[in-house]
Structure 1
Amino acid sequence: MSQRVNLSTGAPWEAIIGYSRAVRIGNIIEVTGTVAADENGPVAVGDAYGQTKFIIEKIEKVLVQAGASLKDVVRTRLFVTDIAQWETYGRAHGEFFGEIRPCTTMVEISKLIAPEYLIEIEVTAILQEA
């Protein structure tokens, strides 16, 4: 039986809401929805490209903690507040995933947790069996 490993950032919302930054069970890693925020708050406010890039770099860090990399990502889900900027989000996404080519979904939503956030991304990674 595979052991469950919950990865945390220590953010206060994790305990309040009851979630983990990422969860690994066996060779599967799920990364929770991620926005462009650091310990000081929103990053790249008003910049769809900058937020997308920041989020993917943030996701990459937790994947490494879980024993994976971006090359192990098989699905990305992008939730955006303005689908008209799809090319901008897509350009940043493509810089990281252009050769990896995970399954990807981009959908427009009415809003995220705070108005400064233009995009939220979650990913699924699967480590190849040895």
Structure 2
Amino acid sequence: MGERRAILSGSTFEESIGYARAVVDGDWVHVSGTTGFDYATMTISDDVVAQAEQCLANIGAALAEAGCTFADVVRVRYLVPDPADFEPCWPVLRRTFGEVRPAATMMSVGLADPRMLIEIEVTAHKR
């Protein structure tokens, strides 16, 4: 059995709520729902596509720290308050996942902060 390791991004939400950006458990990497905040400045764009790009940058950093890449992603979940905001993000998502083809789900849900327009969660399996 591999050991369990938490990866922190520096997001104030992680400290306030008590969770990790990602958890590495053996060959599995579970990345928490990740929004479009720039964690260095704790700022967020008001554009959903820019938020999707920042979500993926944040996730990519967590995956790299876990020793894997987007190519290792087997499951992705997209959470959007307004379903109409999902389609504008498709080109960004396709650039990241078009060759990988993970299992995917999109849900329309309320998010923790009204500035958040998209949240993305992934599960990866290191090869």
- TM-score normalized by the length of structure 2: 0.91
Structure 2: 5+ residue runs without aligned partners?
none
Which amino acid in the other structure matches residue 41 of structure 1?
M
Which amino acid in the other structure matches residue 103 of structure 1?
A
Aligned partner of 2:42 in structure 1 is 41
SS of equivalent residue, structure 1 residue 15: helix
SS of equivalent residue, structure 1 residue 40: coil
Structure 1: 5+ residue runs without aligned partners?
none
Which amino acid in the other structure matches residue 40 of structure 1?
T
- Of the two, which has the highest radius of gyration? 1
> Aligned equivalents of 1:86 and 1:21: distance in 2?
23
> Aligned equivalents of 1:57 and 1:12: distance in 2?
17
Aligned partner of 1:119 in structure 2 is 118
SS of equivalent residue, structure 1 residue 49: helix
* Contact persistence 2:85–2:117 (CA under 8 A): no
Aligned partner of 2:9 in structure 1 is 9
Which amino acid in the other structure matches residue 43 of structure 1?
I
Q: How does 1:24-35 map to 2 (within 5 A)?
A: 24-35=24-35
Aligned partner of 2:100 in structure 1 is 100
Give aligned pairs, total.
126
Q: How does 1:71-110 map to 2 (within 5 A)?
A: 71-109=71-109
* Superimposed CA distance per residue, residues 55-78 of structure 1 (whole angstroms, 9 cap, x where no aligned partner): 111101110000000100011100
CA-atom RMSD, angstroms? 1.4
SS of equivalent residue, structure 2 residue 86: helix
> Aligned equivalents of 2:76 and 2:31: distance in 1?
10
> Aligned equivalents of 1:95 and 1:10: distance in 2?
26
> Aligned equivalents of 1:58 and 1:28: distance in 2?
18
- TM-score normalized by the length of structure 1: 0.89
Q: Which moved more, 1:86-95 or 1:56-65?
A: 86-95
